[in-house]
Structure 1
Amino acid sequence: MAGIGRLSARSSVLLLCDMQEKFRPTIFHFTNVVSNAARLLQACRILAIPPILTEQYPKGLGPTVPELGAEGLKTHTKTRFSMLTDTVEEELKSLGNPKQAILCGIEAQACIACTAYDLLERGMEVHIVADAVSARSQTDRLFALSRLKQSGAFLTTTEGVLLQLVQDAKHPNFKEVQQY
């Protein structure tokens, strides 16, 4: 059973889902989604929270957009909607099976939803960063977020995640995290 949803840097993983070139012109607020995900990625690097990056069928949808700042990350390619491919499962296991997932990317009603359901079924706490998740239509985005909340995922924002992870303005990395 999920707790109250308090994030901890020690038990979290950041999941970056399918922010690829071909989605750029069709995804609602794509630039904002990627910008917020990039903030999360930089903060997670500072706080030593491991990131996991996927690309959906890169041959057709292109690479991850450069402004995410994900260079150097291992890319897990997939065709299924859930991020939990065999290679991602192996990476989660090698990370000690984190208890909390911070999930962002696209599309809300497809890959984000399928990933969240798989994680929830595993007993993980899922934190969906609403301002770093989107879809082609605002309707799909909003209904997916509502449905995910009904299923037990926690909805949050980029700023909410960053502040929960540091917990205190006296945290040694507070100013560095807030600059992004």
Structure 2
Amino acid sequence: MATLSRTVRIRNPALFICDIQEKFRTKIYEFPKLVSTTNKLVRAANTLNFPIYISTQSRAKLGETVSELSPHLQGPNIKAVVDKTLFSMITPELNAKLPSDPTALDAIIVGIETHICVTQTTLQLLGRGYRVYIVVDGVSSVNPGERKIALERLRDAGAIVTSSESLLFEILGDANHESFRAVSGLVKETVEETKGALDVFAKI
């Protein structure tokens, strides 16, 4: 199995959106900030044309993916939309859509809950040799204390914990990138939302 160094810049980004559903609006710590970060990353993924994988947990009971994201979750870069009872996103259906070579995909994870579904998805991907980036301003839990413990554990396990803005500029890599103007414009457009999310989520 290939082992990827955490010191190498991201090469093959793919966005994993874990269970950001309607019924969690009033339960998850700082849910609107989580949604705004995810929305920024989805828009960037569409601009940069990298894959998006989406899960819901027991959709019939907990609702659809939130309406704020839905308009941007269309098109050929949506590779899987799965409903699950597993806590990990890596269901057989989603697994079938992943490249077998772990060097071909760097997983960027946003969603909930950090200590349950995000943790189990991350550990499963790491165990298979994929590199995993957890967006600190894009994951949350009902109890913010659980979030802190989970992020520390996942960093120790080999995941890369980073911010949405840092990640986007790492993907670009160069101000001469053809999508630099569009992505940097998106970063400027969302600067206040990003600051607000980091103010509450970056205290790991």
Normalising by the smaller structure, the TM-score range is over 0.9
2:96 corresponds to 1:90 = yes
The answer for the alignment partner of 1:48 in structure 2 is: 49
Number of aligned residue pairs: 177
- Following superposition, the deviation at residue 111 of structure 1 comes to 0.4
The 5 Å alignment of 1:125-136 reads 125-136=131-142
How many percent of aligned residue pairs carry the same amino acid?
Answer: 36
Partners of 2:112 and 2:8 in 1: how far apart? 22
The answer for the alignment partner of 1:168 in structure 2 is: 174
The 5 Å alignment of 1:66-105 reads 66-69=67-70, 70-72=72-74, 73=78, 74-93=80-99, 98-105=104-111
The answer for the alignment partner of 2:201 in structure 1 is: none
Q: Which amino acid aligns with 2:9?
A: R
Q: Return the TM-score normalized by structure 2.
A: 0.82
* 4+ long deviations beyond 4 Å: none
Partners of 1:155 and 1:138 in 2: how far apart? 16
Match of 1:153 among 146, 155, 159: 159
8 Å contact from structure 2 (residues 13, 171) kept in 1: no
8 Å contact from structure 2 (residues 59, 83) kept in 1: yes
- Following superposition, the deviation at residue 175 of structure 1 comes to 1.6
Partners of 2:67 and 2:175 in 1: how far apart? 31
- Following superposition, the deviation at residue 104 of structure 1 comes to 0.7
Q: Return the TM-score normalized by structure 1.
A: 0.93
- Following superposition, the deviation at residue 100 of structure 1 comes to 1.0
**Structure 1, 97-106 or 66-75: larger mean CA deviation:** 66-75
- Following superposition, the deviation at residue 48 of structure 1 comes to 1.4
2:66 corresponds to 1:60 = no
Deviation sequence 1:69-106 (CA, Å, 0-9, x none): 44434520001100000111111139x75331011111
- Following superposition, the deviation at residue 5 of structure 1 comes to 4.5
Match of 2:4 among 2, 27, 38: 2
Q: Which amino acid aligns with 1:35?
A: S
8 Å contact from structure 1 (residues 15, 51) kept in 2: yes
The answer for the alignment partner of 1:118 in structure 2 is: 124
What is the DSSP-based 3-state SS (H/G/I as helix, E as strand, rest coil) of the residue aligned with 1:66? coil
**RMSD of aligned Cα (Å):** 1.5
Partners of 2:97 and 2:114 in 1: how far apart? 23
Q: Which amino acid aligns with 1:150?
A: D
- Following superposition, the deviation at residue 126 of structure 1 comes to 0.4
